[in-house]
Amino acid sequence: MRRGTNLPRMGDFNQTVVLDVVRRAGGGLARAEVARRTGLSPQTVTNVARRLLDLGLVVEEGEAARTGPGRPGTLLRLEAGSRFAVGVHLDPATMTFVLLDLSGAVVARAQVPTPVPEDPEAVVAGLVAEIEGLIAGAGVERDRVLGVGIAAPGPIDVAAGVVLDPPHLPGWHDVPLRDAVAERTGLRAVLDKDVIAAASAHLWHPGEHASDFVFFYLGTGVAVSTVLHDEVVRGVSGNAGESGHLTADPEGARCWCGRRGCLGAVLRAEALAEQGRAAGVDLPPWGDGTDPRAVDQAITALCAAADAGHPGAREVLALAGRRVGMAAGVLTDLLDVPAVLVGGPLWHRIAAHAAPALEDEVAAHVVPGGHGLAVASSAFGPQVGAVGAGCLLLARAFAPRPSDLLLVS
Ligand SMILES: [Zn+2]
């Protein structure tokens, strides 16, 4: 059931709406133009702008061009350095950290191997140490850091901030990651699933902004998230995106679910390495696949072989791109969305060889809705999960979401 809202909350909402318009404008924006773009009255814009100036979130700069009688107003511009957010991407092989300013730009970054991935306590300790190092190293005042966004492999309990039983993190069962990070850093923390965080990076950045798209995430696992009308579809438990069991190849490798050729089973890093070995590529051993770093080295060798022109290696990586394209066609038809973005650490590694095949597959796809179907690799590269995690924190603090206006008991 939907419930109403109260006036103070509406004021907060208008504040985020104005900030959002000023932020997306990039340069300065006159108050009259803010009023035009938001539909708010000039008086409301003036009041809201005053509050944003007092908070230091925007600054006045320059003068607007004269468009009518009266004094031209000063321009409002986002003060990007007024607030910061930390974004963390916890992957079984690698932990990635970024410090974002309010515009979402990366001002500091770090990447380290995940310490003893099967030991949550060691991972949390390492994660907190890196967060502290990142903030201190950037020379940012701590009270300007809004908090930490964490992207973790699913499934997770979003409300409780708990990582449940991720298949690629053995030893992790019901780990209260959000609160552990919040307690040890003293910073506000939010936890979301990696693929949902990754898509969120594209919602915050004006240059990368699309309102409706499907995001394929290729990391340790394969997942898909959907953005409709500027909001990531989270599902009823915050675990939307488990698309790993779409059948990509009925004759393909056995999936842990019992069937053959599931998308996740044929696209994950270990499967690509196996396909490479079967195609005659000489790869270092990766054991039973439980050591993500060994699998990572096999992928490095597979990509190097493709770079050197090994036809088997090239075919394996091109097939991976085609498979993403085929699945993308199904999902974009189902949802009637006009764009596909692909990203994540594994995609970033293989994109040079996989993206052309993906683009061919998408170009050949006939869209029933009549609109085009655009495809692109995420501009955030292997950091997309960490950037998105930071953006989730910024969005929680500053993005206007109509759903926030609804009163919940
Ligand atoms: Zn399966």
- Do 74 and 87 have their domain in common? no
Q: Are 194 and 248 in the same domain?
A: no
Residues 147, 193, single domain; the answer is: yes
Neighbours of ion ligand 1 (CB under 5 A): 245, 255, 257, 262
Last residue of a domain, one of 78, 99, 119: 78
Can you say whether residue 328 is alpha, beta or left, with left for phi > 0 and alpha for psi between -120 and 50 degrees?
Answer: alpha
| Residue at which a domain ends, from 54, 78, 102 | 78
| 407 assigned to some structural domain | no
The pLDDT score that the predictor gives to residue 72 is 60
Same domain, 106 and 139: yes
> What is the rounded CA–CA span in Å between residue 206 and residue 126?
33
CA 89–ligand 1 middle distance (angstroms): 25
What does the pLDDT read at residue 69?
A: 55
Query: What pLDDT sits at residue 325?
Result: 95
> Which tens digits make up the pLDDT trace of 214-254?
999 998 778 899 999 888 888 888 788 777 788 888 888 88
Residue 335: what pLDDT?
87
Q: Given this model, what pLDDT does residue 409 score?
A: 40
What is the structure's pLDDT at 197?
A: 93
Number of domains the chain is built from: 3
How many whole angstroms from 282 Cα to the centroid of ligand 1? 28
117 Cα–ligand 1 center, Å: 24
Q: What is the DSSP letter of 241?
A: T
Are 93 and 176 part of one and the same domain?
yes
Query: In the numeric block, which tokens belong to residue 62?
Result: 């320059």
The CATH number that applies at residue 134 is 3.30.420.40
* pLDDT at residue 139, rounded to an integer: 94
168 phi and psi, to 5 degrees? -100, 5
Q: Are residues 71 and 97 in the same domain?
A: no
d(CA 74, CA 321) in angstroms, rounded, equals: 49
Alpha carbon of 39 to ligand 1 centroid (Å): 48
Residue 6 confidence (pLDDT): 58
- Give residue 21's domain range: 7-78
The reply to whether 359 and 263 lie within a common domain is: yes
Single out the residue of 344, 337, 342, 348 nearest to residue 376, CA to CA.
342
Contact 263, 246 (CB under 8 A): yes
In this structure, is residue 145 part of a structural domain?
Answer: yes
Whether residue 190 is found in the same domain as residue 302: no
Does residue 343 contact residue 198 with C-beta atoms inside 8 Å? yes
Q: Is residue 236 part of a domain?
A: yes
**CATH for 55:** 1.10.10.10
Would residue 408 count as lying in a domain?
Answer: no
Measure 243 CA to ligand 1 centroid, in angstroms. 9
Q: Which residues of the chain have pLDDT under 70?
A: 1-11, 64-72, 206-209, 401-409
